[in-house]
Structure 1
Amino acid sequence: MKKDYSQVYNEMQDENFILSYKGQVGFVQINSLLRIIEDRLETAEQNPKTRKKVYNIATECYQNLSHHLEKHSEEIGMKGLAVFEAYQDKYIIATGNYVFKQSEQKIKEKIDYINSLSKEELREYHKQILGSEGFSEKGTAGLGFVDIARKSEGNLRYEFSHLDDNLAFFTLKVEIPRIENKQEHSS
């Protein structure tokens, strides 16, 4: 597959493209990414509720990325991808990582199920997971996608790009609408 790197470069020159990271995703990297996002939000976002919501969703997305890199990803040179974009009406947080094909169907089913739930059903599903499933071997209760969906109040978008018979690149994209600051319109 031929890649047009000049197109990638031009896309990254877009003023809406705030952050792009490809590499190891661990505690240190997540904290660095979140500090950058926090700094950018502090200067670019007037509404404190939106700032908090975007920061919390970014935290969930990047932690989810860290928890779900495949077990052998370091051995085969796999790294994660984190992107943050800001537009006049929304923010976009995207993550990407390699997954083995046997994980793909489980991920699709979970996200599709989460996307099918109403706000109330999502809240109940969250309670159900906390009450019955306990913690996974990764130290999570399987709440990552659920928490992201609850906080973003929208569908999680995803894509799998197949690289070979065993491996796919999984991309998760979350859009967070900007909330108008009511104080601006009251005067």
Structure 2
Amino acid sequence: MLAGQLMDLRSMLHTQGVIFAYSGYVTEPVLSGVGEALKKKLAIDDADTKTLRSVFAIFVEQMQNIIRYSAELAHAPLPPAADSTALMEMRYGILTIGREGDDYVVCAGNLVRQSDVERLKVRLTKIRGMSREELKALYKEQLRSEPEVGSKGAGLGFMEIARRASKPIEFDFTAVDGDYSFFALKATI
């Protein structure tokens, strides 16, 4: 039974062109290890340098979004030697990298709070509708300004993904319950 189920999952991913899939809790060391495997796979595929850099950069941004913002998390107190008020956290998400024709596709998903959905839709719709020049200008403007309230970075991640993608980014939300939605973001390179 186990082998059959895993083989079915493998076949489904293969049929959809997925060459790499990760689902689980994500940490910086996981990001580094998976990133090394991705670089090797892209080198084996003989991806040109620009494509390799873009796929890798988008992969990193997508994984960092999961690490920083996924609403699905596990946490535990740090050991006594550490700050007693701090918590060790790991956040859960899914990321796939695949091929659609000659393009690479990086898709990621994770839970978000329902209260964040509208803000994300507005931001992503704006970014998706911008030209390369407009994205570049917004990126530079954001570098000079303060991060948005609630941001755990410089607020550049979605812009960086859109700048490196060869087609407009795609995104979707599906309600899970009254508190959470599942958020998916796709970038084509």
Q: Same fold (TM over 0.5)?
A: yes
Does 1:123 find its partner at 2:136? yes
Query: Where is the strand percentage greater, Structure 1 or Structure 2?
Result: 2
CA contact (8 A) 2:66 2:91 kept: no
Write the distance in 2 (CA, Å) between the matches of 1:111 and 1:141. 16
Query: What is the RMSD computed on CA atoms of the aligned residues?
Result: 2.3
Q: Which one-letter code corresponds to 1:56 in the other structure? A: A
Write the distance in 2 (CA, Å) between the matches of 1:109 and 1:15. 29
CA contact (8 A) 2:94 2:110 kept: yes
Q: CA deviation at 1:14?
A: 2.9
Report the counterpart of residue 187 of structure 2 in structure 1.
174
Q: CA deviation at 1:145?
A: 0.1
Deviates more, 1:14-23 or 1:41-50: 14-23
Q: CA deviation at 1:68?
A: 1.5
Report the counterpart of residue 181 of structure 1 in structure 2.
none
Report the counterpart of residue 109 of structure 2 in structure 1.
96
* TM-score, normalising length: structure 1: 0.81
Q: What are the ranges of 5 or more consecutive residues in structure 2 without an aligned counterpart?
A: 76-89
Q: Deviations over 1:89-122 (max 9, x none)?
A: 1001111100110011111111001011111111
Q: What are the ranges of 5 or more consecutive residues in structure 1 without an aligned counterpart?
A: 177-187
Q: Which one-letter code corresponds to 1:132 in the other structure? A: S
Q: Deviations over 1:55-74 (max 9, x none)?
A: 1221122122222112x632
SS of equivalent to 1:79: strand
CA contact (8 A) 1:81 1:97 kept: yes
**Count of residue pairs the alignment pairs up:** 170
